[in-house]
Amino acid sequence: MSPRSASVNEELRRRSRERLLHAAVELVGERGYDATTLADIADRAGSARGLVSYYFPGKRQLVQSAVHRLMHGTLAEALEREPRTEDGHERMARAIDAILGLARDHPLLMRHHMAGILQGEGFVQCPEQRRLAELLRETVARHGSTDADTDYPMLRALLMGAVFASLVPGVPMQLPVLRAELFRRYGLDWEQGTPPDHEGGADEVRDSACAADVSRFFGTTGHTPPGEGFDDGRRRARTPGPDQPK
């Protein structure tokens, strides 16, 4: 049997990393951070325990990367949903609603994410975080900022503060109140974005189910190059492990 090509090995490694990110989001969202081990994540992802250390320095970095991926995917989906728009105010409203929606739909996950940022390791700079930052910076610029490098960190801080305030045990602030304050600050109309009191009917039920299933944000499937036989990173008989570091 001929050895796999470099492109196939790269694709298998990419899928393995994606499965780890997806598993981390699922497990921390179900159990919390402390109750989730790296072994649990590797088992859920169907990966060898050693691969976690190959891709991520530790659990904190893995979980932050996974949540940043979820945040980026949620934000990108909200900005590009139909009807598409280039209006800067509408895009800002969608961005705010997307991030606040994560606190509503994934409270345990987001609570542990916010707590993790306050730990000694702080804010993890990873590819997922950089993509999220680029999208938020673009949103600020389209909203009319003449200094996105200054205004983006302020938007990030305000969104983080709103998520934190909505999740504080015992004294949470209501998301509509936080939304109203953010909309006031950015000069947005209440009906822009996705108002929390809108009557969605069947669409609202579908959106709720969609929010619960985050697998679409983690690319664990892909195109198989012609003549390159592999099945989503799973082993074939007498074939080396798909994701082992070279």
Please give the chain's pLDDT, 246 residues, in tens.
567 788 777 787 888 999 999 999 999 999 999 999 999 999 999 998 888 989 999 999 999 999 999 999 999 999 999 999 999 999 999 999 999 999 999 999 999 999 998 886 777 788 999 999 999 999 999 999 999 999 999 999 999 999 999 999 999 999 999 999 999 999 999 999 999 875 444 344 334 445 568 888 887 654 333 333 333 333 323 233 444 444
Count CB neighbours of 184 within 10 A.
10
Please say whether the beta carbons of 97 and 150 come within 8 A: no
Cis check: omega of the bond before 83, within 30 degrees of 0: yes
The pTM for the full model equals 0.81
Tokens of 167: 């999740």
* Look-up of token digits 């109309």: 189
Please say whether the beta carbons of 172 and 165 come within 8 A: yes
Sequence length of the chain is 246
